[in-house]
Amino acid sequence: MTSANETIRATPGARYVIGVDVGTGSARAGLFDAAGVMVASAKHDITVFHESGAIVEQSSGEIWSAICHSVKEALALAAIPPEQIAGIGFDATCSLVVLGAGGQPLPVGPSEKAERDIIVWMDHRAVEQAQRINDTGHDVLKFVGGKISPEMETPKLLWLLENRPEVFAAAWQFFDLADFLTWRASGDLARSTCTVTCKWTYLAHERRWDESYFRTVGLSVLADESFARIGRRIVEPGTPLGNGLTANAAAELGLRAGTPVASGVIDAHAGGIGTVGAEGNPESCLAYVFGTSSCTMTTTREPVFVPGVWGPYYSAMVPEAWLNEGGQSVAGAAIERLLTMHPETPRAEINAERSGESLPAMLARLAAQRSSSLSDAVKLAEGLHVVPEFLGNRAPFADPHARAVIAGVGMETGLESLIALYIAGVCSIGYGLRQIIETQAQAGAPIEQVVISGGAGRLDLVRQLLADATGKPVLATQAQEPVLLGAAMLGSVAGGLFGDVRSAMTGMSRISKTYAPATGDIAALHDARYRAFTKLQRVAKEIR
């Protein structure tokens, strides 16, 4: 399915950049001018294959095709000729792409379907391998918060080696998805500092892979090959690759051959790039990307080691700065999971569809109508508490075995109790965010404000509840699509519109609205609910 929208009329003769974002469920393309104004966007859905257990896969061929559809449609909507495109940037989920000789896809799971050549970021097949890696206590692990996650790439590579050795042996290249896209566009095998540092254990501050780590964890074969299959040339995001778009890629995208292609980033990091520079001081802001999962990114001048929070990563988002990355394995997906458990949901979904809204948007509207202010909506969830760890705790505990808790549920089955469950769920996401913020502050990485992006964080009610739950101002940028904007900023650097990523961040992003945290009784109520949240977390771990 394809959907698209035009936002503003393009200017003849002006220079534009394209940002491409590949999320879990869709590929999107946005066209931006040099001021960061989006003139058109288009989206094409992509398939997610769920196998038994924790196996989740996708197809790189389908994703590339979806990108091509989206770019062509956005260009058509904006009526911009290819000659006006100065550059293109890509971001994508941190999923693992496995290609054989000649760039052909290889099957990564039991389906044996070669087109399913991607192990998706949320895939947890490598929990056992991650635990064994963590048991080594290798020094490299201190740069991933002390524990590696099964969502990262080396546990997945180890799973492939042990469970599908013939596929591992046949692989020509192992790519992070963003690096696959830039290779597919430019033919350049260079990897991004962002992807390999954040998900593959590359030590960017020392500009090297740690050979002893790979030998210790059972991936000696990659070290023996001098890392030829995972990246020998590592470049910073925004670096122009190859000779720009290859002739084939340009034809598929509807662009001009040679159009500059920027080294890409992980999708959450694109959201950070697209937001935290708006105030001119990235170090004071936490970038919060609230989508299917959530990601928190905190920038510091010096490295800060936070147990349970990934990093510190050097130059992985903001150039020549350190990054700490936390988040929740499910966030928007946790809200969806909660709602599916309620008996009123099927009827509510029909009503939402009739009113042209998503179910969360309808519930947020109804909650606001029942409250004297957005902050007062928390009272609708009185007595109802949620710990939304359906897929474990990514940060600050790095505990993939954690599971969700719902407390205070009665026999109510109507719409009011569904609204209460929704509000409790949104607040619980805020308390998880607060826990990450407090843990980082205690370790030496305090922040002053949260800058939000991501599809699940667009509603005013959600933003206000997050501000109230964390006690921090939540800032929204003018850009309706800050993740797309972040990818486009990379294209603007590769295309020469800006000299570096920091200047693109400042030049193309602005704050539109600030949501101040509540004070007084509402703040005290959130403090009490937060104490309940942490207590339920502890009890769940004890009884597990």
Looking at the predicted structure, is the pLDDT value of residue 223 above 80? yes
Q: Is residue 301 part of a domain?
A: yes
Where does a domain end: 265, 291, 320? 265
In a shared domain, residues 231 and 297 = no
Q: Is residue 500 part of a domain?
A: no
In a shared domain, residues 349 and 252 = no
Sequence letter at residue 297: M
Tokens, residue 393 = 């705790």
**Residue 9: band (very low, low, confident or very high) from pLDDT cuts 50, 70, 90:** low
Sequence letter at residue 60: S
Tens-place pLDDT, residues 394-450: 899 988 899 999 999 999 999 999 999 999 999 999 999 999 999 999 999 999 999
Cis status, amide bond into 312, omega within 30 of 0: yes
Looking at the predicted structure, is the pLDDT value of residue 6 above 50? no
Say which DSSP state 274 is in: T
Looking at the predicted structure, is the pLDDT value of residue 292 above 90? no
Please identify which residue in the block is written with the tokens 């900023």: 489
In a shared domain, residues 367 and 473 = yes
- Continuous segment of H or E residues that includes residue 38: strand 38-45
In a shared domain, residues 10 and 90 = yes
pLDDT the model gives residue 480: 83
Looking at the predicted structure, is the pLDDT value of residue 260 above 70? yes
| 480 three-class SS | coil
Q: Is residue 161 part of a domain?
A: yes
In a shared domain, residues 248 and 298 = no
Where does a domain end: 239, 265, 291? 265
Strands 385-387 and 322-328: unpaired
pLDDT the model gives residue 52: 78
Tens-place pLDDT, residues 31-44: 999 999 999 999 99
By residue range, what is the domain housing residue 328?
275-478+510-544
**Residue 10: band (very low, low, confident or very high) from pLDDT cuts 50, 70, 90:** low
Tens-place pLDDT, residues 333-349: 999 999 999 999 999 99
Say which DSSP state 282 is in: G
Looking at the predicted structure, is the pLDDT value of residue 8 above 50? yes
- Residues contacting residue 393 through CB under 8 Å, at least 6 positions apart: 328, 329, 399, 400, 402, 537
Question: What is the Cβ-side half-sphere exposure of residue 183, based on CA atoms within 13 angstroms?
Answer: 21
pLDDT the model gives residue 62: 98
Looking at the predicted structure, is the pLDDT value of residue 7 above 50? no
Q: Is residue 491 part of a domain?
A: no
In a shared domain, residues 324 and 401 = yes
Strands 385-387 and 118-119: unpaired
- CATH value at residue 87: 3.30.420.40
CA-CA distances (angstroms) from residue 267 to 95, 289, 486? 11, 9, 9
What pTM value is reported for the model?
Answer: 0.87
Q: Is residue 162 part of a domain?
A: yes
Distance CA(283)–CA(277), nearest Å, equals: 9
Q: Is residue 381 part of a domain?
A: yes
In a shared domain, residues 310 and 164 = no
pLDDT the model gives residue 240: 98
In a shared domain, residues 302 and 240 = no
In a shared domain, residues 312 and 455 = yes
CA-CA distances (angstroms) from residue 149 to 49, 122, 179, 327? 21, 10, 20, 12
Q: Mean pLDDT over residues 81-109, rounded?
A: 97
Tokens, residue 111 = 């389906």
Tens-place pLDDT, residues 163-188: 999 999 999 999 999 999 999 999 99
- Of 323, 327, 263, 241, nearest in space to 292 by CA: 327
In a shared domain, residues 385 and 525 = yes
In a shared domain, residues 294 and 207 = no
Distance CA(495)–CA(483), nearest Å, equals: 19
Q: Is residue 121 part of a domain?
A: yes
| 2: number of Cβ within 10 Å | 12
pLDDT the model gives residue 469: 98
Tokens, residue 306 = 């936070």
Distance CA(266)–CA(283), nearest Å, equals: 20
Q: Mean pLDDT over residues 235-248, rounded?
A: 98
With beta carbons less than 8 A apart as the criterion, state whether 57 and 118 touch. yes
Tens-place pLDDT, residues 481-528: 999 999 999 999 999 999 999 999 999 999 999 999 999 999 999 999
- Residues contacting residue 373 through CB under 8 Å, at least 6 positions apart: none
- Of 429, 412, 409, 420, nearest in space to 366 by CA: 420
Looking at the predicted structure, is the pLDDT value of residue 27 above 90? yes
User: Domain total for the chain?
Assistant: 2
Q: Mean pLDDT over residues 5-23, rounded?
A: 79
Looking at the predicted structure, is the pLDDT value of residue 228 above 60? yes
Q: Mean pLDDT over residues 234-243, rounded?
A: 97
CA-CA distances (angstroms) from residue 360 to 319, 349, 381? 36, 9, 15
Q: Mean pLDDT over residues 285-292, rounded?
A: 90
With beta carbons less than 8 A apart as the criterion, state whether 180 and 153 touch. no
In a shared domain, residues 335 and 221 = no
pLDDT the model gives residue 329: 86
